[in-house]
């Protein structure tokens, strides 16, 4: 091939390379959720409760002075039961297990729900000590999910337990 023709060939091939790189660097656009959708993110990290027993004075007396803890607690943490309802319908239900080989770590969850934007009655119930029946934490609220917005369901005992954040 003559030199000018080879140069033209190179220009075409370099051009094709640039178009390929330039196009797939940003196109096609990716839409993870529709325009009219919102997200609920359910995310918690919480230590399940455990049943502790108060040591009697006789028991404490028999123990070395430096080990006289008033409560005797098992290492293992309770599973945590969690339910989420939306407008009275069950959206999600699970039992979270403690992490760790001795089941003494936190129980965690992370879930993402895609919903059509709008107003919903959101109810979350949680029991962090399954020896006891029912739910010791309940949060119920009418929430308005705007398009593209994220509502987070989280738990923090210092903030009163279950809470929603938008």
Partner 1 sequence: MSFHASLRNNAQTIFQHAEEFFDVSFGGSGNPLRHLGAMGLYFLWIVVGSGLYLYTVLDTSINGVYSSISDLSREPWYLGGILRSLHRYAADAFILVMALHLVREWAYGRYFGFRFYSWVTGVPILWLSYVSGISGYWIVWDQLAQFSATASTELLDWLPIFSEPAARNFLSPDSLNDRFFTMLMFIHLGIPLMLILGLWAHVHRISRVDYLPSRQVMLGTLGTLLLLALIKPALSDAPANLALSPTQVRLDWFMLFIHPMTDITSPAMVWMMLFAATALLFILPFLPHPNAEPIAEVDAANCNGCSRCLADCPYAAITMGPHPGRPGYRIAIVAADLCAGCGICAGSCPSSTPFRKQERLLTGIDMPQQTVNDLRQQLEEQLAQLEGRTRIVVFGCNRAANARLLAAPDTAVISLLCTGALPPAFVEYALRGGADGVMLASCRSGGCDYRLGERWTAERLSGQREPHLRSKVPLARLHHVFASVNDNKLLAEALHEFRKKIEIQGLTDDPLQPYYRRNSHHV
Q: Are 164 and 43 in contact (CB under 8 A)?
A: no
- Binding test (CB under 8 A) with partner 1, winner from 109, 115, 117, 143: 109
Binder of partner 1 out of 51, 121, 150, 157 (CB under 8 A): 150
Q: Shortest approach of partner 1 to residue 162 CB, angstroms? A: 14
Task: Rule CB under 8 A: say whether 165 interacts with partner 1.
Answer: yes
- If one asks whether residue 45 binds partner 1 (CB under 8 A), the answer comes out as yes
Contacts of partner 1 in 83-102 (CB under 8 A) = 99-100
Q: Shortest Cβ distance from residue 22 to partner 1 (Å)?
A: 5
Scanning 1-9, 55-63, 69-77, 125-133 for contacts with partner 1 by CB under 8 A, the matching segment is 1-9
Nearest to 125 by CA among 145, 153, 158: 153
Choose, by CB under 8 A, the member of 47, 106, 115, 143 that binds partner 1.
106
| DSSP single-letter state for residue 7 | H
Decide: 48 and 80 in contact? Cβ < 8 Å. yes
CA angle 129, 139, 74 (to 5 degrees): 15
Closest distance between partner 1 and the C-beta of residue 65, in Å? Answer: 35
Calculate the alpha carbon distances from 155 to 37, 72, 111, 126, 165 in Å. 24, 26, 14, 10, 10
* CA separation for the pair 65, 134 (Å, rounded): 39
Do residues 101 and 116 make contact, with C-beta atoms less than 8 angstroms apart? no
| Interface residues toward partner 1, by CB under 8 A | 1, 6-7, 9-10, 12-15, 17-18, 20-22, 24-35, 37-39, 41, 43, 45, 99-100, 105-106, 108-110, 112, 147-150, 152, 154, 165-166
């Amino acid at each position: 091939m003559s030199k000018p023709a080879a140069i033209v060939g190179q220009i075409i091939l370099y051009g094709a390379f640039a178009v390929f790189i330039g196009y797939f660097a940003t196109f096609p656009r990716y839409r993870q959720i529709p325009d009219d959708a919102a997200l609920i993110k359910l995310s918690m990290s919480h230590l399940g409760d455990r049943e502790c027993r108060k040591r009697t004075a006789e028991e404490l007396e028999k123990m070395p002075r430096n080990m006289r803890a008033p409560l005797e607690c098992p290492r293992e943490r309770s599973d945590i039961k969690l339910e989420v309802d939306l407008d009275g319908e069950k959206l999600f239900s699970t039992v979270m297990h403690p992490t760790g080989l001795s089941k003494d770590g936190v129980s965690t969850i992370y879930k993402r729900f895609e919903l059509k934007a709008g107003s919903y009655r959101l109810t979350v119930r949680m029991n962090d000590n399954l020896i006891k029946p029912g739910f010791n934490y309940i949060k119920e609220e009418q929430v308005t999910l705007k398009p593209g917005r994220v509502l987070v369901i989280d738990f923090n005992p210092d903030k009163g337990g279950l809470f929603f954040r938008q």
